[in-house]
Structure 1
Amino acid sequence: MRNLDSKSYYINRELSWLAFNERVLAEAIQKGNPLLERLKFISIAASNLDEFFMVRVAGLKDQVKIGSNHPENKTQMTPVQQLVEISKRAHNHVAKLYATAKSCMHALSRQGIKMVHPHRLSREQRDFLARYFYEHIFPILTPITIDSTRPFPKVASRTINFAVLLEATDGEDDVEDLFAVVQMPSMLPRFIALPATSGERTFVMLEDVIKEHIALLFADSTVVEAACFRITRNADITLDEDVEDILKEIQKELKNRRKKGDIVRLEIEENMSHTMQMTLRDWLTIMDEDIYAVDGPIDATCFAELYHLPDCDHLRYAPLAPQIPRDLLGVQDIFQAIAQKDIMLFHPYESFDPVVQFIHQAANDIDVFAIKQTLYRVSGNSPIVSALKRAAENGKQVTVILELKARFDEANNIEWAKRLEESGCHVIYGLVGLKTHSKIALVVRKEGDRLRRYVHLGTGNYNDTTARIYTDISMFTAREDIGDDATAFFNFLTGCREPSSVPSWKQICTAPHGLKDKFLALIQNEINQSTPEKPGRIIAKMNSLTNKDIIKALYQASNAGVQIDLTVRGICCLRPGRPGVSENIRVSSIIGPQLEHSRIFYFQNGGDELLYLSSADWMTRNLENRVEILFPVVQENLKDRLKHILNIHLSDNVNRYILASSGLYRKVRPKGSDMPLASQLYFYEEACRHAANSHATSIPFVPITLET
């Protein structure tokens, strides 16, 4: 019997994340993708790296700071060892990112869209930039000189700044050189368009314009050097959840985060002088390995600005227009439709509007008495929140479990919490020590002499914006047993009862109490029913797989002959294809225009197939530190649909990568006469076919007018 705790059977979590971001960047390298889509992938990869440093690298540095040398439980790497490997790989990754960006920009110039330096402009163009500088930039800039009376300023995280070396011009030989910092305005566009000439579009970088005129800020000195830098700070929020007002506590911590977190990364221009680099390093007290010299514009997320350039549709994918969900074709009344059968929605191929309409209709329906809903991440102008406010104003009992600790959405959620409370909603800020990550809405409606409960459950957030980008699956149901569970779930959250009083669920299962055990039991059941003649079968799709107990159970299932296919978009700590350990496990990852976000779980169960959807990944944080929901799909046509979705994902030969036992990924390509199959495009075309083939008049899912 092999020791399944051996570190050789696992992939480090942080290195697996970097491998995921390398796959994102690979889509920018892929010349078959439209050019502006490639630049968008570069922007996404850069944004991902920001969060990785702010959270994951920052966490490891915190461990080192307190003297912890405790190895993580899978690969047994200490915090220091992880940081060393991360630094090596991240530096290579950043170099590749900027080389890719340079290649894309060269290709863009061949399309008549050029980036130029001010030195290469005509007199007329330079005059235009001078006027632009005086009118739009100069009034905003604030030079901060550093000397014995003015220490190095508290630079905000992820802002671009100029480090300026000055030489005094007062004629005194003994006057030391001065150092200054100027923050670049973040509200201005990074790419400044010049007046069009010869049918070409020409842009100049904002930082180049400022450098060209920066001497005007220092009338008494000569600018010896000016170069850009950007720091990344630890963005984790440390909360005392026992405080009287957690909302105010989070607001206070948000103010501290941008300027008080420890610095974990310094990005500088590649041509910055060694003297300037060392000066910044010493002032910022950062290690050499945390300095990233880049050959291109600092903060590569700026390339997202170019994505929406007008008259460039040929450089982008055709826009995806979400279709009416197939289960709602011909439907006139959404409550009546849900009462008759379970209804599935597959976003973004099918519209998210019915979810918004569900809450909107409930808000205005005189027969609806109560609405209860969880909110984790919502859009900036959320029609869901608008509908909940209207419901409360219409006298409904509205309860919202709003997670204030959703990372990087804290400020947005605080604002929504205030507005909901002002409208009369009962707002609960989650549970102490846990993030409420569940996606569930409950509507209680009077029908005749009884109350009927309508439930919506999903794998993704109630966010109408990301629902056009993320692939998620959700389901409406009026089943009594799920209605009972939904009522008990909300009562448990709002009652803040002890874990020992967690309800006995009829259909759903929840984390942190019971969900991991449920998954382990389902895996064990496959082992028990697997035979050489009819091996067990598990297919699972998720964002990340890190939990060691789940991985070990999958290894045991593999050894029992269970055939396992996993589609894991991001982090995967399981090492597939190892003889005697994981030879029956295959791992894929799909990276495409849409962000794969759905969580689907299939278990053969001896022929009586079980299918589930969930808000949870197979990550320790989801299974042990969050409030999550797993719910079954029992209606046969919906089970068939989920199996179809899983099979198409596993047949993708355009956007799918396969993980080797070495930990490396290779992209799947069509073989021989195989037709290319891109799963995301397939699902969209399938949704379009269903909508086109139906001549039934459907419920008018109209956008909700937002309140001012």
Structure 2
Amino acid sequence: MTQLKQSKYYVNREISWLAFNNRVLEEARDTQNPLLERAKFLSITQKNMDEWFMVRVASLQQQVFVGHDRVDASGLLPKQQLKEISSAAGEQIRSQYQVLNRSIIPALKKHGFALQHSTDLNEDQIKFLKRFFDEELLPVLTPMAIDSTRPFPFLANDTLNIGVRLKKDDEKSEKHIAVLQVPETSGRVISLPESNQVILVEEVVQLFLDALFQGYTIKESTVFHILRDMELDVADDEDTPNILQEVQSKLQERERGRVIRVIVSANTSKTLMTKLIKALEVPDERVYDVNGAIDLTFIDAWLKLINAPSLEFSAFKGYEEQALAPDKMFDSIKKNDYLLHHPYDTFKPVVQFVQAAARDDDVLAIKMTLYRVSGNSPIIKALADAAQRGKQVTVLVEIKARFDEKNNVHWARELEQEGVHVVYGLRGLKVHAKVVLIVRREDDAIRRYVHLGTGNYNDVTANFYTDLGLFTSDSELGADVASIFNILTGYSDPLYFHQLHMSPDGIRDFIYDKITNEITNAKSGKTAGIKMKFNSLSDERMIRRLYEASEAGVPVELIVRGITMLRVGIPNVSENIAVHSIVGRFLEHSRIYSFDNDGDPEVYLSSADLMTRNLDRRVELFFPIRDHNLRQRVLTIFQTMWDDNVKTRILQPNGVFEKIDRRGLSAINAQEIFIAESLASQVEQQQREKEQHAQRDFEPINNPFTGEKA
């Protein structure tokens, strides 16, 4: 047996994450994508990287500060990881700006949408911007001098700032330094009148900066963007009396975390750069100078001002299953299980499931977990409505959901005020499971209706995240879900579940057992195989199990959107493992786990990825698809994605994901196939409705005596 713990068998987690973000960047380069979509992909890479710095890089920096000296699976100490990823991130940032300056901006300008610089403006535009500056910007700008009596000011996380080097008119030296935060009150992008031209607000501020420093000459100004350590270190142990108060307290502390990254304009002088970096106390290796607009998320604001549907993906709405209409929903689910594949199937039935339950007099109780919801969530409103109507409504709101903590605290408070029983997560664990339980009285009996999903109950992101969800009234699953809520909201420790598996205790061992079964089958000459789709693979022990399966001859097919620390093509270790990654129009978010089981496939869906946090430190659910037709549908979905040769990259033994050489092959774009199937189903449904309506119409017969229409 090969020693599978050797570091050479694993890729560093953060390097793998950067490789994923580079795959997103490739979509920004891809001229087969509509232009505005390419611009969106570029903006996404910036948002992705910002979050990665604020959490993952910050975590490594904290480990270095406290002297943590444990190596990761790839054999690197935290300090070594920081050095490698800081360099790799710099290369990716340079690539981002190459795409911006050489591709996106010139292409947009060719279509008549120009990003102007202050040197490009005509006289009328300068007059317009002077009025705008005086009326909108000047009243809110606050220049802050830096000297012996006025130390360097606190600059908030994720802010754009301007550093200024000045000379007093009656002095020879140029030693005066000031900073000011670019205001957000007027937006990042300013439309210029009677044109499709725009200018960034920081350029407007710099254009009229002398109005703020009368008696001084501005020798230089530069724009810079800072990110801080935004890890929320909540001590939710037995010594924490109130987890809600602890989260609220930590949210305030987090805003003052250490500076973790600075991006600054490349034309900044060494003098000004040195002063700024010293004051911000950020290591040199995490200061990146760029040629172009700082903070590429300005693209989002710019795109909102561009009306050019021909430069976007065609509008698409998912198929709506009529059997799941509110007036039919419970009767339909009582008879059959239903599988929804979002966004190709609309998310509406999930929302309507809660809304219908709120209005239904026979519904006694609604229980639900919430991890991330939209800013104006119809589900939140439905839960409040249900409580107001006297139903027992219990909601677990995970207030530790990263970067949604404030939003979730708000919704939890709102629900409480409406009479909902709210549980604020669990000590020591995040609740990432996605489940709704509806308890309904029918013919003097109690029936449980359940929705289980792979993604959040967020009606907005459901339009561009791919996820799978199951509606069922299966009695065993219903009993399991009821037990889950007893665990989450009270004190309960059931001896077993009928069908569900739950982390932190059950999912890891269950997957181990299934992998072991496939190994046994392969060694016995039976058919074997493992097919999995998830977002990330970073659990070292799970990777070792997959290596063991490969060693035993089990074919392992993995579709991994993001991180994968596994290496393929290692002789006698991973020769039977293939890894695909799809980055396309929709964010691949569904989790599928399938085991061949000697030709009788077992198929499961889950809220969990194969990450240590999901398997050991979160409440996740892993549930079977028992209906034969639905099971086959999930396998078909997987196979369609596996056959994709347009958006798929395949992991190579050297650790690089490469696109498929399509010469001589017909294009197979899985997401486009699913869209086409959804549209075809919608046409068929419209035709059926038309035919049903025609059958209800009647043609009056002729009066046999007069020959006239009756």
- Name the TM tier (shorter chain): over 0.9
Aligned-partner Cα distance in 2 for 1:357–1:329: 9
Partner of 2:540: 548
Q: CA deviation at 1:190?
A: 2.1
Partner of 1:589: 581
Aligned pairs for 1:491-640 within 5 A: 491-497=486-492, 501-531=493-523, 534-640=526-632
Aligned-partner Cα distance in 2 for 1:27–1:61: 31
Q: CA deviation at 1:129?
A: 1.0
Aligned-partner Cα distance in 1 for 2:143–2:325: 63
Partner of 1:683: 674
Does structure 2 retain, via aligned residues, the 8 Å contact 1:168–1:176? yes
Aligned-partner Cα distance in 2 for 1:431–1:138: 47
Aligned pairs for 1:202-601 within 5 A: 202-241=197-236, 242-258=239-255, 260-325=256-321, 328=323, 332-497=327-492, 501-531=493-523, 534-601=526-593
Aligned-partner Cα distance in 1 for 2:217–2:567: 58
Aligned-partner Cα distance in 2 for 1:610–1:196: 62
- Give 1:183's match in structure 2, choosing from 181, 184, 198: 181
* TM-score, normalisation: structure 2: 0.95
Aligned-partner Cα distance in 2 for 1:304–1:661: 37
Residues 1:67 and 2:106 aligned together: no
Q: 1:490 to 1:653 in 2, by over 3 A?
A: same
1:202-234 deviation line (CA, Å, top 9, x unaligned): 111211111000110111321111111111111
1:506-541 deviation line (CA, Å, top 9, x unaligned): 000000011100011100000011158544111000
Does structure 1 retain, via aligned residues, the 8 Å contact 2:528–2:599? no
Q: CA deviation at 1:691?
A: 1.9
Q: CA deviation at 1:172?
A: 4.6
Partner of 1:83: 82
Larger Rg: 2
1:355-398 deviation line (CA, Å, top 9, x unaligned): 10010010011110000000000000000010000000000000
Q: CA deviation at 1:236?
A: 0.6
Q: CA deviation at 1:104?
A: 0.8
Q: CA deviation at 1:623?
A: 0.2
Report the residue type matching 2:399 in the other structure.
L
Report the residue type matching 2:253 in the other structure.
N
Aligned-partner Cα distance in 2 for 1:502–1:76: 40
Does structure 2 retain, via aligned residues, the 8 Å contact 1:328–1:343? no
Which residues of structure 1 form unaligned runs of 5+? 699-708
Specify the SS of the correspondent of 2:139. coil
Report the residue type matching 1:142 in the other structure.
T
Aligned-partner Cα distance in 2 for 1:392–1:332: 21
Larger RCO: Structure 1 or Structure 2 (Cα < 8 Å, ≥ 6 residues apart)?
A: 1
Does structure 1 retain, via aligned residues, the 8 Å contact 2:129–2:204? yes
Report the residue type matching 2:550 in the other structure.
S
Aligned-partner Cα distance in 2 for 1:176–1:107: 41
Q: CA deviation at 1:642?
A: 0.3
Partner of 1:705: none
Q: CA deviation at 1:593?
A: 1.1
1:59-87 deviation line (CA, Å, top 9, x unaligned): 00001101122111x11110011111101
Aligned-partner Cα distance in 2 for 1:311–1:44: 20
Does structure 1 retain, via aligned residues, the 8 Å contact 2:166–2:174? no
Does structure 1 retain, via aligned residues, the 8 Å contact 2:158–2:225? yes
Does structure 2 retain, via aligned residues, the 8 Å contact 1:344–1:476? yes
Aligned-partner Cα distance in 2 for 1:194–1:59: 42
1:307-345 deviation line (CA, Å, top 9, x unaligned): 3344311111112212213x8378851000000010111
Aligned-partner Cα distance in 2 for 1:573–1:184: 40
Specify the SS of the correspondent of 2:538. coil
Aligned-partner Cα distance in 1 for 2:280–2:473: 58
Aligned-partner Cα distance in 1 for 2:495–2:489: 13
Aligned-partner Cα distance in 2 for 1:310–1:119: 23
Q: 1:382 to 1:21 in 2, by over 3 A?
A: same
Does structure 2 retain, via aligned residues, the 8 Å contact 1:532–1:561? no
Report the residue type matching 1:126 in the other structure.
I
Q: Which stretch has the larger CA shift, 204-213 or 439-448?
A: 204-213
Specify the SS of the correspondent of 2:208. helix
Q: Which stretch has the larger CA shift, 330-339 or 294-303?
A: 330-339
Q: Which stretch has the larger CA shift, 403-412 or 3-12?
A: 3-12
Aligned pairs for 1:52-131 within 5 A: 52-72=52-72, 74-102=73-101, 103-131=103-131
Report the residue type matching 2:198 in the other structure.
F
Report the residue type matching 2:317 in the other structure.
A
1:107-127 deviation line (CA, Å, top 9, x unaligned): 111111111212222111111
How many residues of Structure 1 are paired with residues of Structure 2 in the alignment?
Answer: 686
Aligned-partner Cα distance in 2 for 1:387–1:331: 13
Does structure 2 retain, via aligned residues, the 8 Å contact 1:331–1:337? no
1:481-506 deviation line (CA, Å, top 9, x unaligned): 00100110000111145xxx354110
Does structure 2 retain, via aligned residues, the 8 Å contact 1:654–1:669? no
Does structure 1 retain, via aligned residues, the 8 Å contact 2:399–2:408? yes
Partner of 1:159: 159
* TM-score, normalisation: structure 1: 0.95
Report the residue type matching 2:247 in the other structure.
I
Report the residue type matching 2:518 in the other structure.
E
Aligned-partner Cα distance in 1 for 2:302–2:522: 53
Aligned-partner Cα distance in 2 for 1:176–1:635: 76
Specify the SS of the correspondent of 2:313. coil
Q: 1:502 to 1:271 in 2, by over 3 A?
A: farther
Aligned-partner Cα distance in 1 for 2:307–2:257: 42
Which residues of structure 2 form unaligned runs of 5+? 691-710
Aligned-partner Cα distance in 2 for 1:512–1:481: 21
Specify the SS of the correspondent of 1:138. helix
Specify the SS of the correspondent of 1:267. strand
